[in-house]
Amino acid sequence: MKVSRRRFLGQASCAAVSSIPVLNTLLNLKAAGHLAAATPGPSDYRALVCLFFSGGVDSFNILAPRGTSEWQQYKGIRGDLAIPSASLLPITPTNVSGMELGVHPGMAGLQGLFEAGNAAFVANVGTLVEPVTKAQYFQGTGKFPLGLFSHSDQIEQWQTGTPDVRSPRGWAGRVGDVLKQLNTDPTVSMNISLAGANIWQSGETVYEYAVSAGSGDWPGGAEELQGYDPTETSPWSTIVPRTKAVDGQLALEYQHLLTEAFASKKRDAMAAYQLFNSATSTPLPPGVTFPGNYLAEQLKMVAKAVAGHAALGHVRQTFFVHVGGWDHHDEVIANMGEMLPMVSGAVAAFYAALAALGMEDSVTLFTASDFGRTLTSNGAGSDHAWGGNHFVVGGAVDGRKVYGQFPELYEDNPLDVGRGRLIPSTSVDAYFAELALWLGVPKSSLPLVLPNIERFYSLSSSSNPVGFLP
């Protein structure tokens, strides 16, 4: 598989952090400390898993029309990027009439989850500051996301939920600020990342706890302090004196504030390392297998952390996993043909692992990406666009449905601002609010998590923002 410069940049961009922090006055420690108790109750364990596709996935080839007339329309705008209708794997959504849809031929696992009612699609999702029209776009009279069509800006906005301001705080971090009191042990953060630093899980008081995915015989997990191992006893090992030295340092009481703070952080890190690796050491149930790819290894570690949530003292968790390399300005058909089977197989295996643990109703996986891609071809691939299709997976999901508005795929339609760049018909605010509410954020606290939510959803509504979760 060809790895282009654009793909490399896409892979590197998942941890992009704004260099211009903006203080969000709503989200300060005082506000977070006076929130009402979250519902559902603390004994009801729940977790969110964000699967981030950095680079901007071409999601109108993940979910595409396959009926004769709709496919011809799709073929007319996609040109050499269109997947043959006979190759699309059919799905039968229960809430869509008059349109036949299918998923990419490499996503049999996702097709199976959808048909079993354990997955759903949310169509044409994207960043919006406020509802806008095509006319407003061309007249410049509406409010639009900062850096629209820019990788770094849109990655940040999908993770922060604030497309009108730059922020170092993510919406999962703000969820953590709201819900952290439900967990009984703060040693390991409720926000666990399998992909390093990220904005999504960074809050005022809660940050990501980064761990490693396993590989082969290496189990992965929390990273230990280099050269420290209290179980080492060999008189010839240099680890023994290093371990004694570290223990001696940590046993001292320091008068200098910065030195004491450093020692305290080191003690906390070692305690978190020991707790996390102990909690995730129990093997998954017999018969649970994962494909041999990096995403599968990330999700396998997530499954272990879900299984060990009680030992961690967690009843609420979020997880961040990542697959980069979706910036397919060329070779889009070939590249997605290699990458999407990996995604589908890993997600299907993850759901099977949750089911084996009896936790499938307690964990919801959702996808996110910088943006969708142009419906029109540049001659070899597709370029940066706006709205795109995403999927959610879990036993709690009201599945076998397509939520939102699946657009008509013809150039110059009412949502098209050029080359098939579609104005989103569902905002990320509504998408994220659905997930935050399910995790337990009170509806009255949604503006603390998603400051613009009331531009897209009434807090007095008796229905959920999108509808795919109870």
**Other CB atoms within 10 Å distance of the CB of residue 462:** 5
Q: Give the confidence band of 214 by pLDDT, cuts at 50, 70, 90.
A: confident
Mean pLDDT for the stretch of residues 189-215: 95
315 and 247 part of one domain: no
Mean pLDDT for the stretch of residues 300-314: 98
174 and 317 part of one domain: yes
72 and 173 part of one domain: yes
Mean pLDDT for the stretch of residues 400-411: 95
Write down the pLDDT at residue 232. 66
In a domain, 24, yes or no: no
* H helices present in 294-410, as ranges: 294-307, 309-312, 332-357
Burial of 301 (0-12, 13-18, 19+ CB in 10 A): buried
Mean pLDDT across the chain: 88
Write down the pLDDT at residue 219. 79
What are the strands, taking DSSP E only, across 46-161? 46-53, 63-65, 89-91, 101-103, 119-126
In a domain, 36, yes or no: no
**Statement: residue 388 has pLDDT above 80:** yes
Stretch among 29-43, 160-174, 306-320 having the lowest mean pLDDT: 29-43
Write down the pLDDT at residue 39. 52
Mean pLDDT for the stretch of residues 30-52: 67
C-alpha span between 364 and 392 (Å, rounded):
7
- Domain carrying residue 233: 224-279
**Statement: residue 262 has pLDDT above 90:** no
Write down the pLDDT at residue 41. 60
In a domain, 76, yes or no: yes
Q: Are 192 and 305 in contact (CB under 8 A)?
A: yes
CB under 8 Å, gap of 24 or more: what pairs does 242-250 form? none
**Statement: residue 195 has pLDDT above 60:** yes
Stretch among 19-23, 74-78, 208-212, 384-388 having the lowest mean pLDDT: 19-23
Q: Of residues 307 and 260, which shows the higher confidence score?
A: 307
In a domain, 27, yes or no: no
61 and 186 part of one domain: yes
232 and 119 part of one domain: no
- Sequence-separated (6 or more) residues with CB below 8 Å from residue 83: 61, 64, 104, 105, 333
Mean pLDDT for the stretch of residues 42-62: 95
C-alpha span between 316 and 106 (Å, rounded):
33
Mean pLDDT for the stretch of residues 158-163: 98
Write down the pLDDT at residue 245. 55
295 and 256 part of one domain: no
DSSP code of residue 280:
T
Write down the pLDDT at residue 412. 86
Q: Give the confidence band of 266 by pLDDT, cuts at 50, 70, 90.
A: low
Q: Give the confidence band of 253 by pLDDT, cuts at 50, 70, 90.
A: low
**Other CB atoms within 10 Å distance of the CB of residue 111:** 20
Stretch among 177-186, 214-223, 261-270 having the lowest mean pLDDT: 261-270
Stretch among 41-55, 319-333, 345-359, 428-442 having the lowest mean pLDDT: 41-55
448 and 375 part of one domain: yes
Q: Are 173 and 206 in contact (CB under 8 A)?
A: yes
The pLDDT > 70 percentage for the chain reads 82
Give the CA-trace dihedral at 172, 173, 177, 182, to 10 degrees: 50
356 and 391 part of one domain: yes
Domain count, the chain: 2
Q: Are 157 and 171 in contact (CB under 8 A)?
A: no
The pLDDT > 90 percentage for the chain reads 77
Please name the residue that has the structure tokens 């170092």: 168
CATH code for position 351: 3.40.720
Q: Give the confidence band of 23 by pLDDT, cuts at 50, 70, 90.
A: very low
The kind and range of the H/E element at 158 are helix 151-160
**Other CB atoms within 10 Å distance of the CB of residue 97:** 6
269 and 291 part of one domain: no
Q: How far is CA 233 from CA 229, 271, 438, 443, 461, in A?
A: 9, 21, 49, 55, 63
Among candidates 73, 101, 102, which has minimal Cα distance to 88? Answer: 102
**Statement: residue 229 has pLDDT above 80:** no
In a domain, 18, yes or no: no
Write down the pLDDT at residue 243. 56
253 and 325 part of one domain: no
Q: Give the confidence band of 411 by pLDDT, cuts at 50, 70, 90.
A: confident
341 and 319 part of one domain: yes
How confident is the model over 121-152, as pLDDT tens digits? 999 999 999 999 999 999 999 999 999 999 99
In a domain, 68, yes or no: yes
Write down the pLDDT at residue 9. 36
Write down the pLDDT at residue 30. 39
**Statement: residue 458 has pLDDT above 60:** yes
In a domain, 23, yes or no: no
C-alpha span between 350 and 306 (Å, rounded):
11
Write down the pLDDT at residue 233. 74
Write down the pLDDT at residue 4. 40
Q: Give the confidence band of 244 by pLDDT, cuts at 50, 70, 90.
A: low
C-alpha span between 354 and 394 (Å, rounded):
9
Classify the C-alpha dihedral 11-12-17-18 as positive or negative: negative
Backbone φ and ψ for 140, nearest 5 degrees, come out as: 70, 30
98 and 214 part of one domain: yes
In a domain, 1, yes or no: no
Mean pLDDT for the stretch of residues 48-61: 98
How confident is the model over 326-365, as pLDDT tens digits? 999 999 999 999 999 999 999 999 999 999 999 999 999 9
What are the strands, taking DSSP E only, across 30-140? 46-53, 63-65, 89-91, 101-103, 119-126
Classify the C-alpha dihedral 451-453-454-456 as positive or negative: positive
**Statement: residue 295 has pLDDT above 70:** yes
**Statement: residue 379 has pLDDT above 70:** yes
